[in-house]
Copies of this chain bind each other. A is one copy, B any other.
Amino acid sequence: MKVDMRVNIAGVTFKNPVITASGCYGFGGDYTDFYPLSRLGGVCLKGTTLEPRQGNPPPRIAETPMGMLNSVGLQNPGGHAFVTEELPRLTGCGTVLIANAAGSSIESYVGLVELLEGTAIDMIELNISCPNVKEGGMAFGATCEGAARVVRAVRGRTTKPLMVKLSPNVTDIVSIAKACEAEGADAISLINTLLGMRIDIKTRRPVLNQVMGGLSGPAVFPVALRMVWQVAGAVSVPVVGLGGIEKWQDAVEMMMAGAAAVQVGTASFYDVYAPVRIIEGMEAYLEREGFGAASQLTGIARK
């Protein structure tokens, strides 16, 4: 019997539980030399804001043990260009399209999600957790009140399924997740990057122009898994787990902790095939272990 790889999140069916993470996959066109987008469960597109943003000055990248820092700073062409230029290229690509919506004020979040109404976007991932922007971003995601305010404002203005992406740089991730759920979030995704830093001992200066940046990659996996475990135990909406997933085993671990699906980010930077290998490895594992459906993995370590 073939394993049923499909998962359903907030009414949207994904053909498999592997989604590429926002900011790590551009607007979907950069990896099509290697495999078609239709292979993926879904694609979270690059973080987009209402107005265009040119992002932070370089250097934007630093390496860390089994991780990396980035301070891209939400460079993007703005909501209008996103809808008129980027989205049309993706029509018929055969995968679930998720817009990653960021903002520096409540109004800008609202303006953006309104722009997305009526587009081909299947789901909105509300990014209240970007550590690389001065205003908004993580500031909203750092408190229950901040998170609740954004979700409430946006919830009223979109008919699309709404997934809220949380920051790990907080004392109490569970309360924030619950606050988002209470305001009508249809799903929670976590984690965004941990705030980190490197210094170049040759130049005696921070490596990143912005001094601090977001840590991602395998190094953060145990933190991500812990937070997914905590949040999945506290909310009843689906949780999408990410942070450091590079192998199918990591994806299985994440789902066993309670995730309904996973996202893969940094791993694609060093292995372009990572998302596909994870899908294939998970499918083989499920078959070997006699699971009928991928969704049966979700939370089995909690039982």
A170 at the interface (CB under 8 A from B): yes
A225 touches B196 (CB 8 A): yes
Instruction: Give the distance in Å from the alpha carbon of A218 to the alpha carbon of B220 in the complex.
Output: 11
- List the one stretch of A45-53, A182-190, A197-205 in contact with chain B: A197-205
**CB-contact partner of A171 in B169, B198, B204, under 8 A:** B169
- List the one stretch of A21-29, A92-100, A106-114, A249-257 in contact with chain B: A249-257
Q: What is the count of identical protomers in the complex?
A: 2
A12 at the interface (CB under 8 A from B): no
**CB-contact partner of A195 in B199, B218, B226, under 8 A:** B226
**CB-contact partner of A67 in B195, B206, B222, B253, under 8 A:** B222
A201 touches B65 (CB 8 A): no
Nearest chain B CB to A273 CB, angstrom units: 19
A143-175 vs B, CB cutoff 8 Å, 1 = contact: the mask equals 100000000000000000000000001110000
**CB-contact partner of A222 in B64, B201, B221, under 8 A:** B64
Interface of A is mostly: mixed
Nearest chain B CB to A177 CB, angstrom units: 14
Nearest chain B CB to A231 CB, angstrom units: 12
Q: Residues of B contacting A225 with CB < 8 Å?
A: 196-199
A194 at the interface (CB under 8 A from B): yes
Instruction: Give the distance in Å from the alpha carbon of A201 to the alpha carbon of B301 in the complex.
Output: 9
Nearest chain B CB to A259 CB, angstrom units: 11
**CB-contact partner of A206 in B65, B204, B301, under 8 A:** B301
B171 touches A197 (CB 8 A): no
B197 touches A229 (CB 8 A): yes
Instruction: Give the distance in Å from the alpha carbon of A69 to the alpha carbon of B256 in the complex.
Output: 19
A-B pairs with lowest CB-CB distance, top 3: A196-B222, A65-B218, A219-B219
Sample of 13 A–B contacts (CB below 8 Å): A64-B221, A65-B217, A65-B219, A65-B244, A169-B171, A170-B171, A195-B223, A196-B223, A197-B225, A197-B229, A199-B301, A206-B301, A219-B219
Chain A residues with a Cβ under 8 A of chain B: 62, 64-67, 69, 142-143, 169-171, 194-199, 201, 204-206, 211-212, 215, 217-223, 225-226, 229, 244, 249, 252-253, 256-257, 300-301
